[in-house]
Structure 1
Amino acid sequence: MYPQFNEQFATAARQFADTAAQINRLTLENAQAVLGLQLSAIEDRAEATFAFWNEAAQVRDLDGMKAIAPKGVQIARENVERAVSTGQEAFGRTLKTHEAIAEIAKSQIEATAKATRENVEANVEKATKAAGKGAK
């Protein structure tokens, strides 16, 4: 009885460790991709913003300020658009990762349920045979 229990426990522990490793790998890959995406967006928008501020620092009169104002608005608009699109893409990637994790969990639950059902059926069959022999 105990060796069978120990083997079942060891098998379950191995399956759990394998599943946890798969989920951790997916999570880390997603985090790396999202972080890279966000850093790329920050770098791109920072370069554009600093270029604008460099140009704005060269302005010495009101006419120059009037000329550069539309560019500042354009930079601000592009920054917001890039932030929104980056957020949407990060959300999409994270959603796909969560779907993959849910699929792994579903397959593990189904496999465990099947193994448990088979084990119970085998034990019932053994008990039925034992009871049949004992009644004779």
Structure 2
Amino acid sequence: MNVSHVRKKYIALHKKTARLYSTKPTPVRGTKAMTQQINSQVFAYTKQLTDSAFKAQSLVLKSLEKFAELQLSALEKQGQATTHFITEALETRDADGLRSLWEKGASLNRENAERAVAVTQEIIAVTQKTAESLNALAQEQQQAANDAVAAPAAAAKKAAAAK
């Protein structure tokens, strides 16, 4: 085998391969309809997903707003009680005043701790309510997706049975 013979075979193989890759695939019947159907299903699912994401975001933002409201309210009450305590401490002049101030300080600490526990319980309740709402939203989404898949399948089955 000489070099020119190998070269001719290589060129022929290259041309054949180039022809294979340059030809357009033969269109399949109904491809356009199938593509449109798939596109419409994808669009519907994307719209549904976007709507659900927007609802979930609004639920989370409402709960965060409630958290901030609860914490700021507790902070305001704690600040007022502490300011009142400091005012009394600055006005104290004798040992009896210091004893009563000690008791008021212990009482203030207890009230602040109780307030913190109450706020934490309210935050947990809001979190639980938000989680339940998000779970219901996820179940809605799943049911809608199941219905979206089942409806075309049922229609195709019905059309096949009619033929």
TM range (shorter): 0.7 to 0.9
The structural deviation recorded for 1:127 is 4.9
Q: Distance in 1 between matches of 2:144 and 2:155?
A: 16
- 1:13 and 2:39 equivalent? no
Report the equivalent of 2:24.
none
What is the alpha-carbon distance in structure 1 between the residues aligned to residue 91 and residue 119 of structure 2?
A: 32
Residue 92 of structure 2: SS of its match in structure 1? coil
How far apart are the structure 1 equivalents of 2:91 and 2:152? 80
Secondary structure of the equivalent of 1:93? Answer: helix
The offset of 1:76, in angstroms, is: 0.5
- Give 5+ residue unaligned stretches, structure 2: 1-33
1:118 to partner: Cα distance: 2.0
Gaps in structure 1 of 5+ consecutive residues: none
Are 2:61 and 1:28 aligned? yes
The CA distance in 2 between the partners of 1:119 and 1:62, in whole Å, is: 86
Partner of 1:69: 102
1:67 partner letter: S
Across the aligned residues of Structure 1 and Structure 2, the Cα RMSD in angstroms comes to 1.5
Question: Comparing 47-56 with 1-10, which one deviates more in the overlay?
Answer: 47-56
Is 1:54–2:62 an aligned residue pair? no
Higher helix residue share: 1
Whether 2:129 is the aligned partner of 1:99: answer no
Residue identity matched to 1:3: Q
Identical pairs, percent: 35
Larger Rg: 2
Distance 1:64 1:37 in 2: 34
Q: Which residue of 1 aligns with 2:112?
A: 79
Partner of 2:144: 111
**Normalization by structure 1: what TM-score?**
0.87
The alignment partner of 2:93 has SS state of coil
C-alpha distance in 2 between matches for 1:73 and 1:105: 48
Deviation at 1:60, TM superposition (A): 3.4
